[in-house]
Structure 1
Amino acid sequence: MEFDNNYFEAEVREGFYVTSDIKHAWAAQLEVLSDVDKACRENGIQYFAEWGTLLGAIRHHGFIPWDDDMDICMRRPDYNRFLKAAKDIMPEGYEIFDMNTDADNDNAIARIINGRNINCDGIHLEKYHGFPYVAGIDIFPLDYIAADEEDDKFQCDLIDIVWTVEKLARNIENKCNEINLEKAPAELEFRLRQVEELCGVTIDRNKSIAQQLLRLVDKLSGLYTENEADYITLMHVWLGNKSYKFPKNYYREEIRVPFENTDIPVPAEYEAILKIKYGDYMVPVHNWNSHEYPFFVTQKEHYKADGVEFNNYRDTYSDYMQYKEQVDVIRKAKKIVKSFNGDTHKTVLFLAYKSDNWNMLDNIYKQYCGEENTRVIVQSVPYYYKTVNGVFEKYADSGSYPDYVTITPIEEYNYLEEYPDEIVFQYPYDNYNSAGTTDSVFHSYNLALHTLRLTYIPYFRTDEIDENDMRAYTNMNEYVTMPGVVYSDRVIVQSEGIRKLYIKKLTEFFGEETESEWAAKIEAGDIGGN
């Protein structure tokens, strides 16, 4: 699959900040989807977008901004065929991760993954768009509900019994502290005999009992065929929610709809399905919890433990204070020189990051233009895309600035020599972003050394964020705990609510004793972006 370089940049979608890392994760999963789609088409296996992927396809024509993973579903016969044939029909490197392949997997679904380990091999990174972590797609089996109510009740009761014993067996295997490990084995043996009698099976005590029981749950879930049913469901949901069912014909025909830069099959009856799942599905509702977010965070932490980090800002508060002392010494000397020369004029340099983002600077720009004895200079900062092969590609800005803004070429004004009174800039990441960077001379670390005041204004505006919105708050790590915010003397954000979250996030990062530092420099202001 092909992606434009700008696809991987962080962006605000529908008020939600999507990080560059998540954009790479999206692209990697779309690559997996492309291979799954090809294998399924060539082998007559039908699948559909499921859960957030289905909702995203219809409502957003792509990922839900606050979603990070992909889900598909298959009717049980197609599901079984795919799992059995995946090794032969999928490209090399793919694996199935489910109850049959991994004894410690306690999920009732399968996952197709592009490997088992973090992979920084050049060929792998090229294919999966610079995403080194394991990427995959969850596959949910659709099962048929028995037409006879008593048969359905018996099946559900049986599944519930086996699943309860499976959980006990897994707790014993994992030596869980929540159970009595002395009495539990005897209880397990008693229940296993019940399961064996009820289901007509034999459980091998020398193998993982939990794994065998979960496989049994899977078989029991697919007990009925299409000809024996009127409705279809996800059995693990149906067990606890008897309204979660769909006429079986809802999952018979498919249509393909746009999804990011490709398309994806959805049930032709997607509207009826989405109403059953979500009610008024066109009204966005942020998912504040669910699985760990982003899905690769644990992989990232494992890599970090091994001493390898990607685009992680790591300065300590001690580093910051030492740097601040260095800046203060230089500024005192510059102020003395300025006073000695009798210079009462003020020069303010605006470093714009892309013409599309100028609106965030417009209000403060006009404010300074209206001040007496103030010279205002605007420069467009050179920006480069980072490519998988390590080559930087210069961004060509095809947009335009307002007619009243004059762009001064970089070569005509050298801030390193001129030492402006204030620099106002927009790019917070320095080199700690996986999609792009500016010239190092325009990194905040250097800017602060060559001005009396460094002011940072974000190039974007988000919706107001509730700190209980775990996903939005987590993503603040990618634009708040960044050098552009830390090294600035003044940070102007969109609202008092966002200001408080900036302070909270920085205090969590650097320590409780630093809170007053951030409270003093961060302010809510009348910036652009409305």
Structure 2
Amino acid sequence: MEFPEDFFKKECRCGFEVPEMMKRAWAAQMEVLEVVGKVCEKHHLQYYADWGTLLGAIRHKGFIPWDDDIDICLRRKDYNELIRVLPKGLPHGFVVAGMYAASERLQNAAYVPQLRVIADETLWDFNSYMRRFHGFPYQRVGIDIFPMDRMPEDLETAKLQKEVIRQGIAILREWDRLQESGQLQGYLKGYGELCNVEIPQRDDLKNWMWRLIDALCSLYQDDDTEFITNWNVWMAKPRLYRVKNEWFDEMRYVPFEHVRIPVPGNYDEVLKAQFGDYMTPSQVKGGHDYPFYAEMEKELVKQIRAVGFMGSVEEFCEKVSTGELQV
């Protein structure tokens, strides 16, 4: 993917300074999005910008200045098909991470209830990685892919489903602490009773639990219900998040930085359901530390000093990405 010459310069957008490294992160993720988009298009799967990426596309015609990741979504039927075709459909260097990954290493690379596609660091040498991803030096650059699931018509039933999903994720988030305190088996037994399933004893139990939660999210996928939701969005927000299934019947392409990406046909109603008055900017970061690479940057400084490079991180990334410096 080609970028305008001035794209990677530090820039002030909406009163927020976007550093050069964040521009590299944006470009790297857009590369992954392009790869995933080609797989979706080949298999006629409808995918859409979601959450902050959707908001950025409509309000900013690109990234929200203070956002640092890319989110897309598919309706459950297409999402499940994407899980099936991705392993063979992705080009060399890109892999599925999370609960549907092929190895424990990659399952643990995305300890989240959604699908991720990442650049697997074991399949790249550093110089090639830097050239492909525009001088972004941090491993496992990727995007999040969420399912949009049918909801029960009865709102109280939907809230109960949400709470069961939330409790399962909470156990997984606290797994190590519960295990160390001797409480894990009790929590798992109780959760199995809540879900009316037997929790098995198996080596990959954590991944089995993630798949159980994904199954709970899709309980109503065969029902012709009016509303769908991204359970992750609803759990992250105090307000009810449900949108009409028909709002996603059409894909519409809109400007995003220097390319175009797909959004739901009725994106206005989707964004109002997510954010309310979505055209008024509010500098609220995502549900993780910003920038996501902050801790890795400290380690990179140590590494580039160890190889004798005394310039800045930005200078190092520029020289390696252009081939001027080989490491």
Q: TM-score, normalised by structure 1?
A: 0.53
1:269-317 deviation line (CA, Å, top 9, x unaligned): 111111121222111111257422222223323334444679537xxxx
Gaps of 5+ in 1: 176-180, 314-384, 393-530
Indicate whether 1:224 and 2:220 are aligned. Answer: yes
Q: Which amino acid aligns with 1:389?
A: T
Separation in 1, partners of 2:127, 2:172 = 42
| 2:219 pairs with 1:214 | no
SS in 2 for 1:139: strand
1:133 to 122, 130, 138: 138
2:225 is aligned with what amino acid? A
1:44 to partner: Cα distance: 1.2
Partner Cα separation in structure 2 for residue 279 and residue 149 of structure 1: 20
How far is 1:2 from its partner?
1.0
- How far apart, CA to CA, are the structure 1 residues paired with 2:242 and 2:134? 38
Q: Are residues 1:147 and 2:144 paired?
A: no
**Distance (whole Å) between structure 1 residues aligned to residue 240 and residue 13 of structure 2:** 33
- Say whether 1:388 aligns with 2:304: no
1:406-426 Cα shifts (integer Å, max 9, x gaps): xxxxxxxxxxxxxxxxxxxxx
Correspondent of 1:122 among 119, 127, 135: 127
SS at match of 1:138: strand
**Aligned sequence identity (%):** 37
Larger radius of gyration: 1
| Residue correspondences, number | 311
Does residue 231 of structure 2 align to residue 298 of structure 1? Answer: no
Match of 1:244 among 238, 241, 244: 241
- What is the correspondence of 1:175-324 to structure 2 with a 5 Å cutoff? 175=180, 181=181, 184-185=182-183, 188-225=184-221, 227-238=223-234, 241=238, 243-288=240-285, 290-306=287-303, 307=306, 311-312=311-312
Q: Distance in 2 between matches of 1:310 and 1:25?
A: 23
CA distance in 2, matches of 1:390, 1:155: 52
**8 Å contact kept, 1:146–1:228:** no
Deviations 1:192-251 (A, max 9, x none): 334444545333334244332222111111111264311011123435746211111112
Specify whether residues 199 and 257 from structure 1 end up closer, same or farther in structure 2 by C-alpha distance, changes over 3 A only: same
- Contact kept, 8 Å, 2:66 with 2:285, in 1: the verdict is no
Deviations for 1:27-74, whole angstroms, at most 9, x for unmatched residues?
111111111111110111111101111111111111112222111111
Shift of 1:96: 1.6
1:113 Cα offset (Å): 0.6
Q: Which runs of 5+ in 2 are unaligned?
A: 102-106
Equivalent position SS for 2:84: helix
* Preserved CA contact (<8 Å) 2:28 2:134: yes
Q: Secondary structure at the match of 2:211?
A: helix
**Residue 17 to residue 198, structure 1, CA distance change in 2 (3 Å):** closer
Q: In structure 2, do the counterparts of structure 1 residues 284 and 191 end up closer, same or farther at CA, with 3 Å as the change threshold?
A: closer
What does residue 506 of structure 1 align with?
Answer: none
**Change in CA separation of 1:222 and 1:88 when aligned onto 2, cut-off 3 Å:** same
Task: Write the distance in 2 (CA, Å) between the matches of 1:110 and 1:299.
Answer: 23
- Aligned AA (1:276): A
Counterpart for residue 89 of structure 1: 89
Q: Measured at CA, do residues 310 and 270 of structure 1 come closer, stay the same or move farther in structure 2, by a change above 3 Å? A: farther
Give the letter for the 1:108 counterpart.
P
In 1, distance between residues paired with 2:46 and 2:129?
A: 28
- Give secondary structure in 2 for the equivalent of 1:300: helix
Q: 1:75 to 1:310 in 2, by over 3 A?
A: farther
C-alpha distance in structure 1 between counterparts of 2:109 and 2:68, whole Å: 24
Correspondent of 1:110 among 115, 125, 144: 115
Contact 1:94 1:114 in 2 (8 A): yes
Name the SS of the counterpart of 1:5 in structure 2. Answer: coil
Task: Provide the rounded CA distance (Å) in 1 between the counterparts of 2:162 and 2:128.
Answer: 47
Q: Structure 2: how far apart are the matches of 1:241 and 1:281? A: 16
Alpha-carbon contact 2:249-2:264 (below 8 Å) kept: yes
Whole-Å Cα distance in 2 between the matches of residues 117 and 284 of structure 1?
39
| Per-residue deviation, 1:84 | 2.5
* Other structure's SS at 1:172 match: helix
Considering only aligned residues, what root-mean-square deviation do their CA atoms show, in Å? Answer: 2.9
1:165 to 1:284, Cα distance in 2 relative to 1, 3 A = closer
Is the contact between residue 66 and residue 283 of structure 2 (CA under 8 Å) also seen in structure 1? Answer: yes
Q: Which amino acid is the alignment partner of residue 132 of structure 2?
A: K
SS in 2 for 1:86: helix
Structure 1 CA distance for aligned equivalents of residues 285 and 191 of structure 2:
38
Q: State the shift of 1:9 in Å.
A: 1.4
How big is the shift at 1:15? 2.4
